[in-house]
Amino acid sequence: MSTEPAFVIVTGMSGAGRSTAAKALEDLGWFVIDNLPPGLLFAMAEEAGKVKLAADKVAAVVDVRSLAFTTDLNAAIEELEGRGVRVRVVFLEASDEELVRRFENVRRPHPLQGEGRLVDGITRERGILREVRANADLVIDTSSHNVHDLRNKIVAYFGGEDRPGLRLNIVSFGFKYGLPVDADLVVDCRFLPNPHWVPELRPMNGLDAPVADYVLGQPGAKEFLDAYEEVLQVVAAGYAREGKSYATLAVGCTGGKHRSVAMAEQLAARLRDREVEVQVSHRDVGRE
């Protein structure tokens, strides 16, 4: 377990839930400052160190409103790491459609839309944040999350910050609804027979024992799970060496109801037996 000072930067798209994430961290006992310009990150970390916070739980929320956002943030992160501070960047994401809906619900303009349309501001912000998102340690897609879902996810990731090792989020999904945008790894279960075509199994999902037994009993299911379990051990060790503490594994089938759900649950159970910290969610169950 690392004893280096830890400093979390929460950033991402406007409307994706930065304030909710910050409040969740505060409720966990973190010292959080909102809307901090990137150029002041090191000064904040330095002050936190003076009051013995730097090695504990300190976070800053940074948004796009700094005109030199990307350059300033990258430079600030480099300065922090050069001074021995372990930095973790959390990026909150959401689809354009969901961001538009949220802004319209609160009747607020996007901070970058200027005289243009709401979608213009969102597009501009995505461009500015592209590099930040690519380098983030943890990307959370909040498109299908309400404030309670996001809070629970933050608690799951940061509620036990003193525990070592990789924290893995396994999410089942349906390819027909699109890939989860925050996935680090993707598993395709469509090589297995689809329970949708078995009349008595069609109304059920992969959490139901008859469906799970059907899926896991198919030729190739056990062999795939055995092999991928070993692959994940290699990947987890590599992530640990690179300082990546959080990862999302997306397990997909056609509709995200049967095969992916059963396989995700089985992978999670196997990894927990190996003392990997895992949480599981099923994005598309009940969506059909």
Distance CA 32, CA 12 (A): 16
Alpha carbon distance 72, 80 (integer Å): 12
pTM of the complete model: 0.66
Residue 99 has pLDDT above 60, yes or no: yes
Q: Is 245 annotated as a binding residue?
A: no
Is there a single domain that holds both residue 86 and residue 189?
Answer: no
Share of the chain above pLDDT 90, in %: 44
In a domain, 288, yes or no: no
The reply to whether 12 sits in an annotated binding site is yes
What mean pLDDT is predicted for residues 113-141? 89
Per-residue pLDDT band at 69 (split at 50, 70, 90): low
Boundary residue ending a domain (159, 181, 203): 159
Domain encompassing residue 224: 167-282
Average pLDDT over residues 94-109: 90
Q: Is pLDDT of 263 > 70?
A: yes
Q: Please say whether the beta carbons of 7 and 59 come within 8 A.
A: yes
What is the three-class DSSP state of 174? strand
Of the candidates 97, 127, 159, which is a domain's last residue?
159
> d(Cα 24, Cα 3) in Å, to the nearest integer?
23
216 and 120 in a common domain: no
Query: Is 37 contained in some domain?
Result: yes
In the predicted model, what is the mean pLDDT of residues 222-233?
93
pLDDT band at 49 (very low <50, low <70, confident <90, very high): low
Same domain (yes/no): 91, 36: yes
Domain-embedded: residue 183: yes
The distance of Cα 31 from the centroid of its chain, to the nearest Å, equals 21
User: Is 220 marked as a binding-site residue?
Assistant: no
Using DSSP's 3-state secondary structure scheme, residue 206 falls into coil
Question: Distance (Å, rounded) from C-alpha 9 to C-alpha 3?
Answer: 18
124 is in an annotated binding site: no
How many domains does the chain contain in total? Answer: 2
64 is in an annotated binding site: yes
Q: How many CB atoms lie within 10 A of CB 174?
A: 22
Residue 154 within any structural domain of the chain: yes
Encoding tokens for residue 1? 């377990």
Q: What is the DSSP string of 215-246?
A: HHTSTTHHHHHHHHHHHHHHHHHHHHHTT--E
Was 156 annotated as part of a binding site? no
**pLDDT for position 41:** 80
Query: Considering the domain boundaries, does residue 187 fall inside one?
Result: yes
pLDDT for position 1: 35
Is 19 marked as a binding-site residue?
A: yes
In terms of Cα–Cα distance, which of 35, 42, 15 is closest to 125? 15
> What is the predicted pLDDT for the residue at 226?
95
Quick one: 22 and 115 in the same domain?
yes
Question: Do 111 and 206 belong together in one domain?
Answer: no
**DSSP character at residue 168:** E
Choice among 52-61, 83-92, 138-147, 276-285 with the minimum mean pLDDT: 52-61
